[in-house]
Structure 1
Amino acid sequence: MRHVSVGVSLKAYFGRSQARAWFDEVAAALLGHAALRDPDVDVFVIPTYLQVDDARRAFDDLGIAVGAQDVSPFGPGAHTGEITAAELAESGVRLAEIGHSERRRLFGETDEFVAAKVAASLSAGVTPLLCVGEAEQQDAASAATETVARLRADLDGAPDGPVIVAYEPVWAIGAAEPAPVEHIAVVTRELTAALDDTPGREGSLVIYGGSAGPGLLTRLGDDVDGLFLGRFAHDAANFAAVLDEAVALASARREREARA
């Protein structure tokens, strides 16, 4: 059965002390939550590099995975300012966010550069959280074609291993509302099919990000494997509400499998 994965990236919104307070708030809100006991639900938080150890202290005992917001495409060596995938793994980081639209736009990251980061992460045993999505609003079929092409380019030459693909239409990031459910469903189904047709990607998931919040996962149902949250999850209650939906989705999937 495909897992349901829900997580949040803090980007650079919080300083370290503010992040620590948020970690404590989230840990208290999720203590005993059914999502943390469900073997088919995965929960992750992606802080800044400097906040990784603080996040691990708050979340390791709860089973919440900690990720990083970037990773170097290079191995250890003379690459000033870079953080290697090997060091992330050594630091207990389990996911690396790669290819976010802000990295592509602000820092000129190409698909070739993103693919190198994906390869480095998989080689070190760190799961890539690969962000893909069309820049301009368009019809769903065209968006799916563009996004699947980007997915294939970003996975080109990568070693075997599962990835988490976050479909994030750029035009929906930071918007008042997420992309329409019908639009999301068309694209995520095509991304899932592309992963299923790619040898060595067993266990991969497709989640949605882009102004995602409570209620969306329930509306999307089996068309996604979870949500990638942003500012909505700065309210710990919103994070917990989405995890309620994740538990319900995982339970429904198990029941269908049992009947099959």
Structure 2
Amino acid sequence: MSARLPLVVANWKLNGNRDLLAEMLPALTELDASQVETVLCTPFVYLGDEFGDVQKGAQSVASQSSGAFTGEVSAQMLREVGCHYVIIGHSERRAMFGETDNVVAQKVKATLDAGLIPIVCVGETEQERESDATLDVITKQVKSVMDILPSFSDSLVFAYEPVWAIGTGKTATCEQAEEVHYNIRQILMSYNHELAMSTRILYGGSVKPENSKELFSSENIDGGLIGGASLDVESFTAICENAVA
């Protein structure tokens, strides 16, 4: 891992409760924030709770700022309850809710406009990897976001999550993950070399305490976007500790 401050993000998805939150927060507070940054992305209903020194994150956001959009939550609303981060373009949102590259890009712009930090998810399906289309897919997804922004923001975070490794128990090898992370950084360099070098790129896809240390040792992997393992306090804190540079 580089000099970039490691970032580990818990994505609870449609899971968790206040009991788990009460157990998780003290454990994360004990981590050295100067060595690893942790973010807890709970379901919306818990984001109004007090998180103490732990960073709050949302799992999605509306692309609009207001209006007749039943069930949506704007980036400004998330900011008002203390959120700092927003996951955008997760593979489950793309597949189950029809979020296109354009929708993802609009959500990223809305999030940045509200002063929040988007965690932009990109990744290929198993079929796309088998047909050697991984880098083409990643390039299209990254550029669709970068091309809509008026300038390269230093608040961007990217997360590579191979769709075939989400909730399947499969994990990309360190070599596979590093190759994609390296290429994401190369794409970003075409916009701004300095900011590309400081942008954190996370890996997500069946990350566990057992494989996280090796993954995080790669030069261009700056932390993780953690799903299932983030629902267990011991497992998630172990992953956070493995991310310490």
Q: TM-score, normalised by structure 1?
A: 0.84
User: 1:139 Cα shift?
Assistant: 5.8
1:217 matched to 2:217? The reply is no
Pairwise CA distance, 1:192: 1.9
The answer for unaligned runs of 5 or more in structure 2 is none
> Deviation string for 1:17-52 (max 9, x for gaps)?
xx2111111123334223x3x2x5211010111110
Q: Summarize the Cα distance change of 1:31–1:73 in structure 2 as closer, same or farther, 3 Å threshold.
A: closer
Give 2:158's aligned residue: 165
Aligned CA distance change for structure 1 residues 245 and 154 (closer, same or farther; 3 Å): same
Relative distance call for 1:30 and 1:69 in structure 2 (3 A) is: closer
Task: Tell me which amino acid in the other structure corresponds to 1:195.
Answer: L
For 2:150 and 2:62, how far apart are their aligned partners in 1? Answer: 16
Aligned pair in 2 of structure 1 residues 237, 81: CA closer, same or farther (>3 Å)? same
- Structure 1: 5+ residue stretches without partners: 250-260
* Equivalent residue, structure 1, for 2:27: 29
Give the Å deviation of 1:158. 2.1
State the identity %.
Answer: 33
Letter in 1 for 2:177: I
- Greater relative CO, 1 or 2 (CA 8 Å, sep 6+): 2
Aligned match for 2:238, one of 233, 238, 241? 241
Are residue 154 (structure 1) and residue 156 (structure 2) matched? no
Provide closer, same or farther for how the CA distance between residues 185 and 71 of structure 1 changes in structure 2, counting only shifts above 3 A: same
1:237 alignment partner, SS class: helix
Q: Distance in 1 between matches of 2:148 and 2:61?
A: 17
Report if the CA contact (8 A) 2:28-2:38 is conserved: no
How many aligned positions are there? 236
Q: Which amino acid aligns with 2:113?
A: S
Do the aligned residues in 1 keep the contact of 2:123 with 2:162 (CA within 8 Å)?
yes
Mapping 1:1-260, distance limit 5 Å: 1-14=3-16, 19-34=17-32, 36=33, 38=34, 40-54=35-49, 57=50, 59-60=51-52, 63-137=53-127, 138=129, 142-160=133-151, 161=153, 162-199=155-192, 201=195, 203-220=198-215, 221=217, 222-247=219-244, 249=245
**SS of structure 2 residue aligned to 1:223:** coil
**What's the C-alpha RMSD, in Å, of the aligned pairs?**
2.0
Offset at residue 13 of structure 1 (A): 1.9
Matched residues in 2 for 1:64 and 1:196: separation? 31
